[in-house]
A and B are shown apart, each in its own frame.
Chain A
């Protein structure tokens, strides 16, 4: 499986969010999207999951234009995990996870299938939320909720998983544990996994490929060594960084904001 993006351009009314995006993303790899606030990371993920329509350009999944996929096919193929979900009328965690199986059931099926519930069971154990299934969404801690929304994506059993800021609220252990798990299933089930993240440390630990966005276009793209370079990060983020070597991996450490040259403004 492969995603090919050609000359993608996205506008929100009069705001240009992405331009000139051409990419190829392959399966079995973790692709990380990084970049400053407002660079277009979320927009890129939403474009791939067809939540926002492109103004120009085409997205191909397995050589076929995504617009030619049926909605059911797409729902079985792609899961986008937003950093927030609406909880103003809070359901239970189980009710939430059950909706993730809808692409696999007929529209009018009223009774839940045993196999669907078993998938929920399996994923809930992996994400360690099995004890939360009966809890209401507004009664969870931020980190618990984050595991629940990731569990939703895995319950959907998609071929393409798009995670938007999956680690922001997780504690040290869960950050590693969940990314480790995502890496494993990406490898074993040949998924395409794209993760938008601010934590460059996690990116350097887990990324097979990194896409660095700045002001709506690709500033750098490649493997960790190619993208996480001192001068690139300093230029795009406007921070002074230091490089560390940990277990044979290059780790970027932000030290202080640069005051000499002002960082690039997003307008």
Chain B
């Protein structure tokens, strides 16, 4: 019976994983094709596959008769121009999804999320302070990410402390997050407005997140933290699993609750900080992705971590495509920020979760 159920959940994970991979690939190609210059997604897919195979056989030194892809080909060049922002959108969602899942487990609160708990705003605030103190920090992306990390971690600690003062219930955590978020949004808005000239971009893009200015080279600042953070979290899956049932429960397996909380918070802060430093604030992805993932594959972190990353990636990729479609339709000036779309989808979801929760019993964490 137990063996059978375990096999079923294993199989379900593999099915969900492979289906989502296909959907994600589809969205990837779609994102490369949509924009001010539309290209045919099927052509994009063929050309990309072609160039990938060509590069692979070339580097492996296998003799072949393939022709190289013409770099000036219209479809190919348009698609590769969008490669940077597409990868950025995918990684941002994956990063925020995993960060949200970690924070929900660490606080045992299904409403936890980097934006709601104020980490994003405090990260942006420390970035703004960094820019004011050292104006050319903008070109040192790793330094910027580190500063954002410090901000995010401080934000998480502040929110948790405030919520414990308020009784440590799940709703008090969310309310504390909103308070911290409001305060530091205000501070970061003001500071960024002041330094607009230095950062040479409209400050709104940092406030609400945008991928439109991201180059392919910049994506490394998202991909590396994602790889490191997700690997670390996967290695900790047993700790995360026992942590769900309470501090005393985890302690029985030799995992010190306070140490675990610090480690998980640090990883979640790294993940959040890298998105804030590179893309800006994108809210609510970290709330929705873990919920959908738990619905699909359950709470076991070996399964839910990878699925959460994929669902987060899908949410931001769709949002990024929607941003471009809206700007096409309105023939407007520039683009909407990405975070506007995710908030519009995410906030009603939060409302739904709160209603569901308030109707049920109120657990403290």
Q: In this assembly, does A74 line the interface, its C-beta being within 8 Å of a C-beta of chain B?
A: yes
B2's contact among A102, A107, A121, by CB below 8 Å, is which? A121
Cβ of B298 and Cβ of A91 under 8 Å apart?
Answer: yes
Q: Which residues of B, 154-175, contact A by the 8 Å Cβ criterion? A: 170
Q: Which residues of B, 280-334, contact A by the 8 Å Cβ criterion? A: 294, 298-300, 302
- Say yes or no: A107-B238 contact (C-beta < 8 A), given A78-B252, A91-B298, A121-B2: yes
Cβ of A112 and Cβ of B6 under 8 Å apart?
Answer: yes
* Listed stretches B17-25, B75-83, B105-113; interface member: B105-113
Q: Which residues of A, 111-132, contact B by the 8 Å Cβ criterion? A: 112, 114, 117-118, 120-121, 124, 130
A88's contact among B6, B170, B238, B249, by CB below 8 Å, is which? B170
Q: Which residues of A, 89-122, contact B by the 8 Å Cβ criterion? A: 89-92, 94-99, 102-103, 107-108, 110, 112, 114, 117-118, 120-121
Q: List, in ascending order, chain A residues with CB within 8 A of B3's CB.
A: 114, 117-118, 121
Q: List, in ascending order, chain B residues with CB within 8 A of A108's CB.
A: 235
Q: In this assembly, does B43 line the interface, its C-beta being within 8 Å of a C-beta of chain A?
A: no
B241's contact among A71, A95, A124, A138, by CB below 8 Å, is which? A95
For A87, give the chain B residue with the smallest CB separation.
Answer: B363
Give 1 or 0 for each of A117-151: 1 = CB within 8 Å of chain B CB: 11011001000001001100010000000000000
Cβ of A102 and Cβ of B5 under 8 Å apart?
Answer: no
With A and B bound together, what is the CA distance between A87 and B362 in angstroms? 10
Q: List, in ascending order, chain B residues with CB within 8 A of A75's CB.
A: 252-254
With A and B bound together, what is the CA distance between A75 and B170 in angstroms? 30
With A and B bound together, what is the CA distance between A31 and B336 in angstroms? 68
A133's contact among B1, B241, B248, by CB below 8 Å, is which? B1
- Say yes or no: A51-B105 contact (C-beta < 8 A), given A89-B110, A124-B2: no
Q: List, in ascending order, chain B residues with CB within 8 A of A110's CB.
A: 237, 302
Q: List, in ascending order, chain A residues with CB within 8 A of B238's CB.
A: 99, 102, 107
- Say yes or no: A117-B2 contact (C-beta < 8 A), given A88-B108, A102-B238: yes
- Say yes or no: A89-B251 contact (C-beta < 8 A), given A94-B2, A121-B1: no
With A and B bound together, what is the CA distance between A75 and B299 in angstroms? 23
For B302, give the chain A residue with the smallest CB separation.
Answer: A110
Q: Which residues of B, 97-127, contact A by the 8 Å Cβ criterion? A: 104-105, 108-110
Q: List, in ascending order, chain A residues with CB within 8 A of B242's CB.
A: 99, 102
Cβ of A89 and Cβ of B2 under 8 Å apart?
Answer: no
Cβ of A96 and Cβ of B245 under 8 Å apart?
Answer: yes
Q: How far is the CB of A267 from chain B (nearest CB, A)?
A: 24
Q: How far is the CB of B299 from chain A (nearest CB, A)?
A: 4
Cβ of B300 and Cβ of A95 under 8 Å apart?
Answer: yes
Give 1 or 0 for each of B222-253: 1 = CB within 8 Å of chain A CB: 00000000000001011001101110110111
- Say yes or no: A89-B105 contact (C-beta < 8 A), given A95-B298, A133-B2: yes
- Say yes or no: A85-B245 contact (C-beta < 8 A), given A72-B254, A74-B254, A110-B302: yes
Q: How far is the CB of A59 from chain B (nearest CB, A)?
A: 15
Q: In this assembly, does A46 line the interface, its C-beta being within 8 Å of a C-beta of chain B?
A: yes
Q: How far is the CB of A115 from chain B (nearest CB, A)?
A: 10
Cβ of B248 and Cβ of A51 under 8 Å apart?
Answer: yes
Q: List, in ascending order, chain B residues with CB within 8 A of A92's CB.
A: 298-299
Q: Which residues of A, 36-62, contact B by the 8 Å Cβ criterion? A: 46, 49-51
Q: How far is the CB of A1 from chain B (nearest CB, A)?
A: 18
Cβ of B252 and Cβ of A117 under 8 Å apart?
Answer: no
With A and B bound together, what is the CA distance between A89 and B357 in angstroms? 11
- Say yes or no: A86-B363 contact (C-beta < 8 A), given A124-B2, A133-B1: yes
With A and B bound together, what is the CA distance between A264 and B364 in angstroms? 31
Q: What are 19 A-B interface contacts by the 8 Å CB criterion?
A: A51-B248, A71-B253, A79-B252, A80-B248, A84-B246, A86-B245, A86-B249, A86-B365, A89-B294, A90-B299, A94-B9, A95-B298, A95-B299, A102-B242, A102-B253, A110-B237, A114-B3, A118-B2, A133-B1
* Partner-A contacts on B (CB < 8 A): 1-3, 5-6, 9, 104-105, 108-110, 170, 235, 237-238, 241-242, 244-246, 248-249, 251-254, 294, 298-300, 302, 360, 363, 365
